[in-house]
Amino acid sequence: MLQSASPSAGPDRTATSRAIVLVGLMGVGKSTVGRRLAARLRLPFVDADHAIEEAAGMTVAEIFERFGEPYFRDGERRVIARLIDGTPKVIATGGGAFINADTRALILGQSTAIWLHAHPDVLAERVGRRDTRPLLRGKNPRQVLAELAAIRNPIYAEAHIHITSNKTPHETTVNAILKAIRDGSSAGAAPA
């Protein structure tokens, strides 16, 4: 269960010495929460998928369609390595980024990794609003997300901090992240 924390008066300086990288399944809120977290910490925010699209000159869906997932994952790894450059910032990653062993080692070694976790039903409701996710096209989102969670959650669990994202305002999740960073522990530990 998510442990809420009271909002801090100002930015939390303990988190600003390294990049903060948000990992987790699609639809968990990495980009939305990441933007708000960055604003609270007064740090830049970068969406890794947008950075990949800029570098490639095409959308993630187009990269998947034209070149396949292995090609995309290789480019994703290179972009994330460039983003984790020692400059403090908040980075939202795509759902599969942390699954790549090289990308995961980079994130774990050079940043603070935060796993945002939500139940597949919550995720399916969130991602069902748009048909822009290559791994979900023409499939049952709830089923795909449950299968991905079964495979990926044990890997996401390697992240330094675990935060459960329920059907609550995004600020609640941001507050839980700030509290976990301050306390140096997981808040609302997510199940493996």
**Alpha carbon distance 179, 13 (integer Å):** 12
Nearest-CA neighbor of 84 among 73, 94, 93?
93
Q: What is the DSSP letter of 98?
A: G
Q: What is the DSSP letter of 40?
A: H
Give per-residue burial for 142-180: e unless 16+ CB within 10 Å, then b.
eebbeebbeebbebbeebbbbbbbeeeeeebbbbbbbbb
Please indicate if the annotation marks 49 as binding a ligand: yes
Three-class SS state of 124: helix
Please indicate if the annotation marks 95 as binding a ligand: yes
Please indicate if the annotation marks 90 as binding a ligand: no
Q: Catalogue the E-assigned strands of the chain.
A: 19-23, 45-47, 90-92, 111-117, 161-164
Nearest-CA neighbor of 177 among 85, 105, 124, 112?
112
Please indicate if the annotation marks 30 as binding a ligand: yes
Please indicate if the annotation marks 32 as binding a ligand: yes
Please indicate if the annotation marks 17 as binding a ligand: no
Please indicate if the annotation marks 27 as binding a ligand: yes
Please indicate if the annotation marks 77 as binding a ligand: no
**Alpha carbon distance 111, 123 (integer Å):** 26
**Alpha carbon distance 75, 84 (integer Å):** 14
Please indicate if the annotation marks 102 as binding a ligand: no
Give the residue numbers of the binding site: 27-32, 49, 73, 95, 133, 152
Annotated binding residues for ATP: 27-32, 133
Which residues participate in the annotated binding site for Mg(2+)? 31
Q: Which residues are annotated as a binding site for substrate?
A: 49, 73, 95, 152
